[in-house]
């Protein structure tokens, strides 16, 4: 049997990858979802297809809303550079991405690689619509012009597969959590990235602007855990056939409208140290703010805003964004849920955590034993939610 990558056919999901761009040494292709995507494997610099991409960008077809394009450059002498919005150049000089997509394939008996210039058109979920030799790029651009807006690519509006639950936390308990934050204060919140196989914490206010406060009070931890077990876990089982047994992270987060608090589109499980996460939970603790809605770009423009004490629950694999808060302070608690099957994965991921990253690596033990056998861990991570009798 051949070990070559299987060529994509319409409806197949495109493989995700990382590649260097001019602005990012490790651009995450999975973050491009939410609009039509052209992937152009054109070969050596100066290929005729590059001119067609530049013309499409100039006419506004590639605007980063309806569509965006990526030129996979295999040539150090590449003459095309990023043209924003809509056209980015990713480096593929080792042909890793070209081989992943079957564009560069071994030559039988010759020991080399045969490169077949190819262009792929993907839908907002990064699934293949059409693929063609690079010489047929103008035809794919014509097809792109005829496609409906990205939010209607399924033929109708398609809501994100999320669970909205009111009445998870009562207003009095929300007020206790906010009071905890106000008494303790928040610290700048970063995010995890992978670098050379290590899970590294980093800060970038252009990507994320938020302050977090760890909930270290055992009574507050227990109160949150009990309410999730009683009011959220049964609905999660009903909607997604998933039994959550563990919680990662007890925090109160604050997005400040004065600084446009936000978290740009991301997925929550893309590093070795976060791969165990299964579902993310956003519970709004107040409602005196504007903006701050959740957005799932793969599923159109609809915004989601749980009411005070209500939760939005979704798979950590979904691309999502916390939109900027434009007025007031948005307080939320943001646990991740996982199960026993993910415990070993979390233990393996912890081995990749880099040290010296502003406290990112200072994660407490995951608490693998039943909750009845151990008290909550100091920062509340990895403790199983109690199932009520």
The pLDDT value recorded for residue 360 is 38
Burial of 241 (C-beta count, 10 Å sphere; 0-12/13-18/19+): exposed
Burial of 204 (C-beta count, 10 Å sphere; 0-12/13-18/19+): exposed
Whole-prediction pTM: 0.87
For residue 220, give every residue at least 6 positions away whose Cβ sits within 8 Å of its Cβ, in sequence order, or none. 176, 177, 180, 250
Last residue of a domain, one of 152, 177, 197: 152
Examine the domain organization and report whether 200 and 224 are in the same domain. Answer: yes
Closest CA to 273 of 187, 355, 333: 355
For residue 128, the domain's CATH number is 3.40.30.10
Examine the domain organization and report whether 29 and 54 are in the same domain. Answer: yes
Cis, peptide link before residue 85, omega less than 30° from 0 = yes
Examine the domain organization and report whether 212 and 278 are in the same domain. Answer: yes
> Quick check: is 379 in a domain?
no
Domain count, the chain: 2
- Residues belonging to the chain: 389
The pLDDT value recorded for residue 110 is 64
Helix (H) or strand (E) holding 187: strand 187-188
For residue 241, give every residue at least 6 positions away whose Cβ sits within 8 Å of its Cβ, in sequence order, or none. none
Q: Do residues 117 and 136 make contact, with C-beta atoms less than 8 angstroms apart?
A: no
> Quick check: is 385 in a domain?
no
Q: Do residues 337 and 384 make contact, with C-beta atoms less than 8 angstroms apart?
A: no
> Quick check: is 382 in a domain?
no
Closest CA to 127 of 54, 239, 41, 30: 30
> Quick check: is 6 in a domain?
no
Domain of residue 292 covers 163-373
Provide the CA 368 distance to its chain's centre, in angstroms. 27
**What is the β-pairing status of strands 336-338 and 246-248?**
antiparallel
CA 100/CA 41 separation, integer angstroms:
12
Q: Under DSSP, is residue 230 helix (H, G, I), strand (E, B) or coil?
A: helix
- Can you tell me which residue has the tokens 């415990």? 343
Strand partners, 114: 105
The pLDDT value recorded for residue 5 is 54
> Quick check: is 206 in a domain?
yes
Structure-derived torsion over alpha carbons of residues 180, 183, 184, 190, reported in degrees to the nearest 10: 70
Examine the domain organization and report whether 85 and 168 are in the same domain. Answer: no
Q: If the chain, 389 residues long, is cut into consecutive pieces of 10 residues, what is the mean pLDDT of each piece?
A: 63 96 93 97 87 95 97 92 96 96 84 90 98 96 98 95 98 98 97 88 95 97 96 97 95 98 97 95 98 97 97 98 98 97 92 60 34 33 47
- Can you tell me which residue has the tokens 């990895």? 382
The pLDDT value recorded for residue 236 is 97
Helices of type H across the chain: 48-59, 96-100, 137-146, 171-184, 218-227, 233-240, 343-350
């Amino acid at each position: 049997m051949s070990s070559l990558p299987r060529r994509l056919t319409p409806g197949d999901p495109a493989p995700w990858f990382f590649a260097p761009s001019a602005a990012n040494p490790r651009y995450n292709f999975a973050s491009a979802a939410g609009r039509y995507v052209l992937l152009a494997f054109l070969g050596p610099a100066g290929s005729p297809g590059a001119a067609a991409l530049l013309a499409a960008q100039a006419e506004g077809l590639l605007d980063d809303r309806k569509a965006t394009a990526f030129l996979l450059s295999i040539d150090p002498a590449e003459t095309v550079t990023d043209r924003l919005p809509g056209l980015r150049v990713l480096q593929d000089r080792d042909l890793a991405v070209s081989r992943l997509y079957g564009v560069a394939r071994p030559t039988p008996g010759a020991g080399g690689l045969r490169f077949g210039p190819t262009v792929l058109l993907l839908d907002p979920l990064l699934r293949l619509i059409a693929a063609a030799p690079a010489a047929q790029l103008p035809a794919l651009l014509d097809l792109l012009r005829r496609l409906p807006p990205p939010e209607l690519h399924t033929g109708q509006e398609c809501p994100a597969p999320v669970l909205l639950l009111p009445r998870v936390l009562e207003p009095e308990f929300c007020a206790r959590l906010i009071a905890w934050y106000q008494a303790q204060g928040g610290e700048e919140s970063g995010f995890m990235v992978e670098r050379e196989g290590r899970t590294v914490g980093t800060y970038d206010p252009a990507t994320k602007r938020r302050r977090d406060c760890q909930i270290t009070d055992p009574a507050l931890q227990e109160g949150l855990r009990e309410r999730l077990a009683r009011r959220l876990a049964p609905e999660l089982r009903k909607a997604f056939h998933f039994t959550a047994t563990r919680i990662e992270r007890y925090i109160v987060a604050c997005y400040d409208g004065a600084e446009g608090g936000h978290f740009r589109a991301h997925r929550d499980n893309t590093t070795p140290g976060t791969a165990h996460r299964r579902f993310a939970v956003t519970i709004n603790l107040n409602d005196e703010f504007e903006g701050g809605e959740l957005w799932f770009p793969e599923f159109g423009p609809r915004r989601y805003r749980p009411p005070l004490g209500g939760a939005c629950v979704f798979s950590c694999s979904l691309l999502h964004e916390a939109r900027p808060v434009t007025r007031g302070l948005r307080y939320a608690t943001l646990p991740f849920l996982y199960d026993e099957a993910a415990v070993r994965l979390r233990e393996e991921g912890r081995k990749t955590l880099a040290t010296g990253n502003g406290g990112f690596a200072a994660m407490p033990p995951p608490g693998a034993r039943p909750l009845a056998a151990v008290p909550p861990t100091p920062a509340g991570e990895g403790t199983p939610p109690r199932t009520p009798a």
